[in-house]
């Protein structure tokens, strides 16, 4: 799903303040509608937005991420086409709140390029994220087997690391039979920030 933020907010190019952010969060939630049956990216497209302050982002993007991850939605938030000023304020938000946000460029046809992460992952989370991206699809047992003898980390620890990345919205969780499987939200050519 792709939401053009400029359209959602009525054509504004400069977005600022907590009050406006809360008002626009309601519009975003209305535009999202129902949850998909399978995991999919929810692109919030910043094309045409010149500036969005950190306080605005906290009440829109920060709150939206909290809501969709809190209800274990099949939507996974991705910020698309944010200019450097918007990305700077998103980076401030992510670092201040301990969150990580997926970002990318998204063309008119929906092709993703230059994917990355704003915010910081601890080294273990980053290593797990990199492994999932490298493998394309995996589960805790496969990661444990692949790293046998190198880390001495058991199945439960791998499950916890994967669950943490899902909670942050960086990897998607789905079921295959009785097993939980994981894959990157942005599938190809991922380069971390």
How crowded is residue 135: how many other Cβ atoms within 10 Å of its Cβ? 15
C-alpha angle 74/75/77, rounded to 5°?
A: 145
pLDDT of residue 11: 94
CA gap 58, 22 in Å, rounded: 9
**What would the two tokens of residue 42 be?**
């929810």
- Positive or negative torsion for Cα 129, 130, 133, 135: negative
pLDDT of residue 140: 87
Residues 6+ apart with CB under 8 A from 76: 39, 40, 41, 42, 68, 102, 169, 172, 185
- Environment class of 125 (CB within 10 Å of its CB; exposed 0-12, middle 13-18, buried 19+): middle
Q: What is the pLDDT along the chain (193 residues), one digit of tens a residue?
A: 999 999 999 999 999 999 999 999 999 999 998 899 999 999 999 999 999 998 999 999 999 999 999 998 999 999 999 999 999 999 999 999 889 999 999 999 999 999 999 998 999 899 899 999 998 889 888 888 877 556 666 778 888 999 999 999 999 998 878 888 999 999 754 444 4
**What would the two tokens of residue 81 be?**
């086409």
pLDDT of residue 191: 45
Q: Own/partner pairs for 130-137, CB < 8 Å, 24+ apart?
A: 130/192, 132/162, 132/165, 132/171, 132/182, 132/183, 132/184, 133/184, 133/190, 136/183, 136/184, 136/187, 137/181, 137/182, 137/183
pLDDT of residue 169: 92
CB 106, CB 97: distance < 8 Å: no
CB 192, CB 126: distance < 8 Å: yes
Over the range 27-51, which residues count as b (16 or more CB within 10 Å of their CB) and which as e?
Answer: bbeeebeeeeeebebbbbbbeebee
How crowded is residue 65: how many other Cβ atoms within 10 Å of its Cβ? 24
């Amino acid at each position: 799903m792709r939401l053009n933020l400029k359209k959602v907010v009525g054509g504004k190019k400069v977005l600022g303040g907590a009050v406006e952010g809360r008002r626009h969060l309601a519009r975003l939630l209305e535009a999202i509608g129902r949850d998909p049956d399978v995991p999919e990216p929810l692109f919030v497209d910043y094309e045409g937005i010149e500036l969005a302050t950190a306080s605005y982002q906290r009440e829109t993007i920060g709150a939206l991420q909290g809501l969709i991850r809190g209800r274990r939605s099949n939507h996974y938030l991705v910020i698309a086409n944010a200019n450097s000023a918007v990305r700077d304020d998103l980076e401030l938000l992510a670092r201040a709140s301990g969150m990580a946000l997926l970002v990318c460029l998204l063309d008119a046809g929906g092709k993703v390029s230059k994917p990355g992460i704003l915010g910081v992952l601890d080294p273990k989370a980053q290593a797990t994220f990199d492994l999932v991206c490298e493998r394309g699809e995996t589960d805790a047992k496969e990661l444990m087997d692949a790293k046998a003898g190198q880390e001495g980390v058991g199945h439960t620890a791998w499950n916890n690391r994967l669950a943490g990345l899902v909670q942050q919205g960086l990897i998607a969780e789905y079921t295959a039979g009785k097993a939980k499987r994981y894959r990157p939200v942005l599938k190809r050519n991922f380069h971390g920030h």
